[in-house]
């Protein structure tokens, strides 16, 4: 991680943490930020208060010199303990954030009551799954010096990223700085270490024995049937739900269905 000081983690709270009966930590995916999960978190109110975390190298959190799920999980665990002291939390993670959430539960089982994973498995997500290499290359190839307004960037990326929803989501990461537009995430690091981002650490022999819910998109291949043995080895109390008509960004494509599944899993006890 950066230098000898601990990277700063930014987060926001949705709901009444002092009075809610449940506390939930949300971890976003690659190119995301905590606020992307605001609608899902709001759907758990008033029973739950939620901590929306910007993971390192994303949003308003610090950039780092390397990418390591073990260190990310430890940073988030410490941040969650400080934000929600005195009680275990539930953790919900999407994609990259789902992998961080899994590692967090395995390394800090005393902190986590229940775990919900959105469209990712505890395995290496190789080039056959998804298009993140292409997306990173497309963003890195954008000539920011020629961008005078956000619509310029949208037009320049339209051929490489024709899906309006995906392109709009990615462009949320473009901000205007003192010297013009710049990317908020650490694209250089994420691009250079994409194999680590798409990988998963070897945690053979460890287990999280609390309840785990996997929510996958019907049109996504990030949770495959062949991943089930790896899922059960690390998380023996596993349930799996598939959301019809959804792709990898299942929470943004089908928010009501995801909220319903999370409420049933996290709040009905």
Q: Give per-residue pLDDT as tens, 146-176.
A: 999 999 999 999 999 998 988 998 999 999 8
Strand order in the sheet with 89-94: 10-14, 48-54, 22-27, 89-94, 112-118, 212-217, 238-243
Mean pLDDT of 21-41: 96
Residue 5 lies in a domain: no
Confidence band, pLDDT 50/70/90 cuts, at residue 126 = low
Domain span at residue 76 reads: 10-125+202-267
Residue 111 lies in a domain: yes
Residue 236 lies in a domain: yes
| 52 shares its domain with 121 | yes
The residue among 161, 259, 267, 258 whose CA lies nearest residue 217 is 258
Q: Is the pTM of this model over 0.85?
A: yes
Residue 38 lies in a domain: yes
The residue to which tokens 């930020």 are assigned? 33
Contact call for residues 18 and 86 (beta carbons, < 8 A): no
| 75 shares its domain with 102 | yes
Q: In whole angstroms, what is the distance from residue 266 CA to residue 113 CA?
A: 9
Percent with pLDDT over 70 in the chain: 97
Total structural domains in the chain?
A: 2
């Amino acid at each position: 991680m950066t230098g000898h000081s601990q990277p700063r983690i930014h987060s926001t709270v949705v709901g009444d943490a002092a009075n809610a009966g449940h506390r939930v930590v949300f971890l976003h995916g690659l190119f995301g930020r905590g606020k992307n999960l605001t609608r899902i978190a709001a759907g758990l109110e008033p029973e739950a208060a939620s901590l929306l975390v910007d993971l390192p190298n994303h949003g308003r959190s610090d950039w780092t010199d390397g990418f390591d799920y073990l260190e990310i999980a430890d940073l988030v665990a410490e941040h969650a303990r400080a934000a929600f002291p005195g009680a275990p939390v539930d953790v919900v993670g999407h994609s990259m954030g789902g992998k961080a959430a899994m590692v967090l539960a395995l390394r800090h089982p005393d902190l986590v009551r229940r775990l919900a994973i959105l469209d990712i498995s505890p395995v290496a997500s190789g080039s056959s799954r998804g298009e993140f290499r292409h997306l990173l290359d497309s963003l890195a190839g954008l000539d920011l010096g020629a961008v005078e307004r956000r619509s310029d960037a949208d037009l320049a990326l339209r051929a490489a990223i024709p899906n309006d929803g995906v392109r709009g989501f990615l462009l949320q990461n473009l901000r205007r700085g003192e010297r013009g537009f710049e990317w908020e995430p650490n694209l250089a690091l994420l691009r250079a270490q994409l194999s680590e981002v798409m990988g998963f650490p070897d945690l053979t022999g460890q287990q999280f024995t609390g309840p785990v819910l996997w929510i996958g998109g019907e049109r996504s291949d990030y949770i495959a049937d062949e991943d089930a043995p790896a899922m059960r080895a690390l998380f023996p109390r596993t349930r799996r739900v598939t959301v019809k008509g959804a792709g990898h960004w299942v929470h943004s494509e089908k928010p009501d269905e995801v909220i319903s599944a999370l409420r049933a899993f996290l709040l009905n006890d």
